[in-house]
Structure 1
Amino acid sequence: MWRKAVAAAVLALTVGYFYHTDPELPERLLQYVSQSSPSPEGTPSTPTIEQTISSAWEALISAPARQWSRVAVGVNACVDVVVSGVGLLQALAVDPGQGADHEVLHSKEDLKEAFVYYMEKGAAAERFFSDGEAFQRIARAAAEYPGAQLYVGGNAALIGQKLATYPQLMVLLCGPVGPKLHEMLDDQIVVPPESLQETDEFHLILEYKAGEQWGPTRAPQANRFIFSHDIANGEMNTLETFVASLEEFQPDLVVLSGLHMMEGQGRDLWEERLKEAVVAISDIRNEVPIHLELASMTDKDYMNRIMQEQVIPMVNSIGLNEQELLFLSQAGAGPHAELVSWDGVPDVGRVSDILLWVMEQHGRTNPEFEADLTRIHFHTLAYHILVTVDGYWGNQVAAVAAGARVAGSQACGLESIDATKVALRAPRDFHSSHSEPREHLSLNPAMPVTIYHRGNVTFYLTPVLVCKQPLRTVGLGDAISAEGLLYSEILQQHEQQQ
């Protein structure tokens, strides 16, 4: 016994001596011992839950039996210019001063005042710049500013870029495409000559950091101020060109976006233009499925017009996030419309209630209904749900898993999921509805797509492995929808009727 005590004392003295000469030695010894020591009975270390889910996705994600070969995408496209807000305004020889909000920007002075107003609050905002010539001068200065980053922008262009990463796919993109955007687009993307413009539509994104100071103004948190002079996208000017180009291109899938841009043009314009848009969309051949990508809107009348007699019943599939889903319900007095906003991770039961309501009110849950909507791809930070009317779509387990996989990898700027850089934030237990009768469900990491049914509507839910330190989240929703569509298969008519 005394020998063990002496040995322990000598070891303690030795470690103590080396600690004073090399303080990091004990930690290095610990790492060496832990790395070199075999697991009990030679078994490998237990994989993390993130590793288990990621590996399970790889087994689940397989290509559909019938893949798309030609996809047409339209109609909003632009160049996003991300630049230091303070730096750009200084380069424009604008002095700091008092902030003031402006609904529309008419000059550099208006821009400065609005930027300062929102920088002081640390709040995001987006404004229209009315003077086209002045805006182009500012846009050129922004694009040439040191450190400025130029990206493909606009939902349609972003979806087109994602689809074009698959070499077997031919992609047609129609939208206001200027020289810079054309240069940035993937070589695989076909742009109709009629939609090419002499100048680009720029969206300027003026960023500021937390604590950044300009004159008397100090930003309490990091955020961005966005402005543009974007009439072509705002009026969906290329929609008719898009529809006309489909006859020659002969796509087997059409992806439509940009309706949200019209909302900012005022009621007089959107009322008339929406009618024209509906006529144009109705000219697309019935046998070609249409996916509509929604985006943020604030006008309930406009949303109702899109949702009811106008656009949503005419498309086969829609993609949207949690804010857009709740706004649909608020605009149409649907389930949980009393919620002002989601509190943290949106409750799965409430989300499922609204998705079912959209499908039953505006979809083809009954074969006798005239509506064509049979698929909704919902995405939020922590999880995704794909909802389909039975008999219309195939391979949806793979589709929802593929959408979640790209959310985790693209946010981290990686080609594939790195399980050490992502975290599971989805609920482990949830319900199929917020009200009775409801089914209690649990997430199984080894089989991470949970399937549940409500009538003849099937729900496919999978968690997202959320990137811990995201590099860029702009366009993530567009990538998710594109990936989900790539793995989706619309069933042939005779299969639907069986």
Structure 2
Amino acid sequence: MYYRNKDLDDRLSPVRDNLLNLETQNIVAYGNKQPRVALGYGACHDLFVKATALLNHTEMNGDPRHFNDISTKDELLRSFAYYFKHGAAAERFMSNGELYDNLVEEALNLPGSRWALGGNAPLMAKRFYLEGWKVLLGGKMSKKLKSYIPEDIKIVGDDGSQDIRDDVHMILEYKADEKWGPYKAPRANRYILHNDDNNPLITSLETFGEHLPNFKPHLVVISGLQMMDNYPFMKGNIQGVREERIMLVREQIYSQPSSSLVHFEMASYVELELLQHLTDYVIPNVDSIGMNEQELENLYHVLEYGNVSVVADSNPRVATSLDHMRKIFSLIRNKNEQNKNFRKLTRIHVHTLAYQAILTVTSSQWKRTKAAAAKASLTAHRYVCDTDDISVDKSKLLLDDSFSTTTKSDTNRIFFEPSEPVSCWREVLNDEVVDICVAPVLICTEAQLTAGAGDNISAAGLVLQVQS
């Protein structure tokens, strides 16, 4: 269903024009109707560096391999090679603090390395703010890090008297077709490395919760829980800390009124126990989930088979993603019924390189699914190209002229019309009528940014779906 010659693709202009029309016809309310979003948890400094300049492939001993956490330079090299050759995003904890600090020093000496605001919640918060929302952000951060965030965003998480040492994440970026020794990246992506002390404990949770009642959010976003993945909570003989913190997240969700929608942002997880905690305590208690293609595959495997999928096809078929979305919807809705959850899953957003797919329950509070898919697609291009303009000269489409809606039958096909590029239809899942919309992405062919793309895309997909 993929690749066609961009030079021969006359679909680009009509696709762009129609997506822009959908965006401009659907705007965010303002004044008394301005929507409010509260986002937790955590923040960090992102240090961007060219991966192939920092890492030397000749130092690698052995074949590419997945590691749950990184403790040596060789494990880093082999882990990076594993994801690089698949063009897959990854995020890993480095348990060797001395090695991590040395790598940060090396990165700072490389040309082109730069600092930026990091963390799912802050990046999504900034996107909501730019789109016209009122924003409450939960995270402990230094005054320097706060300076990266627009002043109108209210930040809570500390009393301002503490001397806070920000966590640092290293963003090892690479471009499509870039080579590293014998390996070639099939797409632009990033490998994130961290040695966090603050974010894994979601230390802003309690203060964030204190501000929620007065803020009265229309939407609450839960993110950043991947910082708990493989973190050594056993230090100091403290047992059960992670599960206890996740249970507190659940209690915070329970405390929200039905008028507040709750979204959970997936991320790169490899520790099965953590994923099981999330699928037991958090995911069955939210209204919405957002994820990329790899996170979709991973969540599907955990729910269906009870195991972890560490890497997935970087360009999955639409039919495959839709089947996974349907199965996840059914499995979580079954959990909703079994647990008699106060909330039921009513929305799933999957963003991939080639397309945006959003599933919403028709009778739910989620609105404007078609426009949301279009906005998410446009945001993907704008963010990765680091521009406000959508240029067809810097775009390509990977979707072909039609796609199957399921792998179970090739007769259910949607024909791609450039003048109406967002395809929407209705189905019945678990006795619920759902709307499914698929929008093509005008893929940026001159990628400037990769880390943070998913956060911006997910936020953009939510921006038009909540009406106050």
Shorter-normalised TM range: 0.7 to 0.9
Q: C-alpha distance in 1, partners of 2:350/2:174?
A: 31
| Alignment correspondent of 1:415 | 388
- 5 Å matches for 1:153-232? 153-166=118-131, 168-192=132-156, 194=158, 198-205=164-171, 226-232=192-198
Q: C-alpha distance in 1, partners of 2:182/2:91?
A: 14
- 5 Å matches for 1:55-66? 55-61=17-23, 62-63=25-26
Deviations 1:197-238 (A, max 9, x none): 5221111345689678xxxxx685689765432122112222
* Contact 1:65/1:489, CA 8 A, preserved across alignment: no
Report whether the alignment pairs 1:326 with 2:297: yes
Q: C-alpha distance in 2, partners of 1:220/1:82?
A: 21
2:391 alignment partner, SS class: coil
Q: 1:297 aligns with which of 241, 262, 269?
A: 269
* Contact 2:190/2:451, CA 8 A, preserved across alignment: no
* Contact 1:206/1:226, CA 8 A, preserved across alignment: yes
The change in CA–CA distance for 1:208 and 1:249 in structure 2 (over 3 A counts) is closer
How far is the alpha carbon of 1:143 from its aligned partner? Answer: 5.2
Q: C-alpha distance in 2, partners of 1:128/1:219?
A: 25
Deviations 1:153-187 (A, max 9, x none): 11111101212223x42211111322332121122
Deviations 1:7-31 (A, max 9, x none): xxxxxxxxxxxxxxxxxxxxxxxxx
| Alignment correspondent of 2:114 | 149
* Contact 1:321/1:378, CA 8 A, preserved across alignment: yes
Deviations 1:314-350 (A, max 9, x none): 1111111111111112112279x99996556322222
Q: One-letter code of the match for 1:54?
A: R
Q: C-alpha distance in 1, partners of 2:174/2:410?
A: 49
2:15 alignment partner, SS class: helix
* Contact 2:26/2:464, CA 8 A, preserved across alignment: yes
Q: C-alpha distance in 2, partners of 1:220/1:425?
A: 23
* TM-score w.r.t. length of structure 2: 0.79
Report whether the alignment pairs 1:360 with 2:326: no
Q: C-alpha distance in 2, partners of 1:86/1:451?
A: 41
How far is the alpha carbon of 1:120 from its aligned partner? Answer: 8.0
Q: C-alpha distance in 2, partners of 1:128/1:321?
A: 23
| Alignment correspondent of 1:32 | none
* Contact 1:79/1:180, CA 8 A, preserved across alignment: no
The change in CA–CA distance for 1:136 and 1:282 in structure 2 (over 3 A counts) is farther
Q: 2:321 aligns with which of 323, 337, 351?
A: 351
**Count of matched residue pairs:** 427
Q: One-letter code of the match for 2:156?
A: P
- Return 286-295 or 267-276, whichever deviates more: 267-276
The change in CA–CA distance for 1:443 and 1:97 in structure 2 (over 3 A counts) is closer
Q: 1:460 aligns with which of 406, 427, 437?
A: 437
| Matched-pair identity in % | 28
| Alignment correspondent of 1:258 | 224
Report whether the alignment pairs 1:281 with 2:247: no
1:184 alignment partner, SS class: coil
Q: C-alpha distance in 2, partners of 1:60/1:414?
A: 19
Q: C-alpha distance in 1, partners of 2:360/2:121?
A: 23
Q: C-alpha distance in 2, partners of 1:236/1:173?
A: 13
Could you say what the CA RMSD is over the residues aligned between the two structures, in angstroms? 3.8
How far is the alpha carbon of 1:56 from its aligned partner? Answer: 0.8
- 5 Å matches for 1:478-489? 478-489=455-466
Q: One-letter code of the match for 2:125?
A: G
1:332 alignment partner, SS class: helix
The change in CA–CA distance for 1:464 and 1:229 in structure 2 (over 3 A counts) is same
Q: C-alpha distance in 2, partners of 1:105/1:252?
A: 39
Q: One-letter code of the match for 2:425?
A: Y
The change in CA–CA distance for 1:321 and 1:125 in structure 2 (over 3 A counts) is closer
| Alignment correspondent of 1:18 | none
The change in CA–CA distance for 1:328 and 1:226 in structure 2 (over 3 A counts) is closer
* TM-score w.r.t. length of structure 1: 0.74
Q: 2:408 aligns with which of 425, 431, 435?
A: 435
How far is the alpha carbon of 1:272 from its aligned partner? Answer: 3.0
The change in CA–CA distance for 1:448 and 1:139 in structure 2 (over 3 A counts) is same
Q: C-alpha distance in 1, partners of 2:69/2:382?
A: 38
Unaligned runs of 5+ in 1: 1-45, 91-95, 213-217, 492-498
Report whether the alignment pairs 1:272 with 2:247: no
How far is the alpha carbon of 1:441 from its aligned partner? Answer: 1.2
Report whether the alignment pairs 1:424 with 2:401: no
How far is the alpha carbon of 1:285 from its aligned partner? Answer: 2.7
* Contact 1:77/1:177, CA 8 A, preserved across alignment: yes
